[in-house]
A and B are shown apart, each in its own frame.
Chain A
């Protein structure tokens, strides 16, 4: 029933309020005396000396992609974990349900070992 999601809705509202309220309070309460120095963009206290758009090492993306792939794997683990008790208690699928997740993880471990062996995980 949709009414059961009401607490989630309340949480979302509170979360949004927590994000917006400090900004609004800051706008209302804080002194606002802008000058050109304050409004100019700066980078850790000194002038920005180059464009933010530049060539990045591809390894940043590689780490991010590997993270996403293993993140996806967790999405598959969760439904399995919720019915794990049921699987173990059912005699007919007891080992089958366990083994298929092991196969799933084993296939991904191959990728993990490959990435590790290829040196994709070290940074030097």
Chain B
């Protein structure tokens, strides 16, 4: 167990450092990259807990998809880094209230077992059993409604993303080839029969 403890503290130190840099680094791109590092080390910590499904999905989904989107947005958006700092003091009260709320929530979740908030402790899986199967069995028996709710939340996400980005009819000059081939000359050109006018 000595080596395991060492690995845990090693990963945790990197995790704490990376998380601190996420909020303190001036450059948003660096912050996003530190967040990637934080996700990787968090996945390592989960691996130590033998929660390999969570660890792999953290890497695949957060690092592979979410952080790529974040990096894309942060690197491509025309943000002025100096102007990001503006309004720090005016946003401070609201920001600190939200931060305090989040700290309280995290404390309740993490310290819940000390305050006897939960009925039972975190269940341990058997050694021989696969972790993914244990998650699946719980998800499809005990937590059916949260599971279906997750699907509804994903649906809300899709609809919100589409509704936010969809504007009125796009003003593009693109032509539709399928409609274009059916155009006949008489649809576009009008030949006028005009008598010649004598010059005065």
Contact = CB atoms under 8 A, between A and B. Distances in A.
A59 interface: yes
A59 B172 CA distance: 14
B65 A120 contact: no
Interface of A is mostly: helix
Contact of A79 (B4, B135, B163): B135
A25 interface: no
Contacts of A104: 147-148, 150-151
A54 interface: yes
Interface residues of A, number: 51
A2 B65 contact: no
A120 B165 contact: yes
A24 interface: no
A114 interface: yes
A114 B155 CA distance: 10
Contacts of B147: 76, 100, 104
Contacts of A51: 78
B84 interface: no
Interface stretch (B10-18, B66-74, B86-94, B117-125): B66-74
Given A61-B69, A104-B148, A115-B158, A82 B132 contact: yes
Given A75-B57, A86-B137, A66 B158 contact: yes
14 contacts: A2-B48, A51-B78, A62-B162, A65-B69, A65-B157, A65-B161, A71-B60, A72-B61, A75-B61, A79-B140, A82-B136, A86-B133, A93-B140, A100-B144
Closest 6 CB pairs of A and B: A79-B136, A111-B158, A83-B136, A53-B78, A107-B151, A111-B155
Interface of B: 4, 47-48, 50, 52-53, 57, 60-61, 64-66, 68-69, 72-73, 75-79, 127, 130, 132-133, 135-137, 139-141, 144, 147-148, 150-152, 154-155, 157-159, 161-163, 165-166, 170, 172, 174
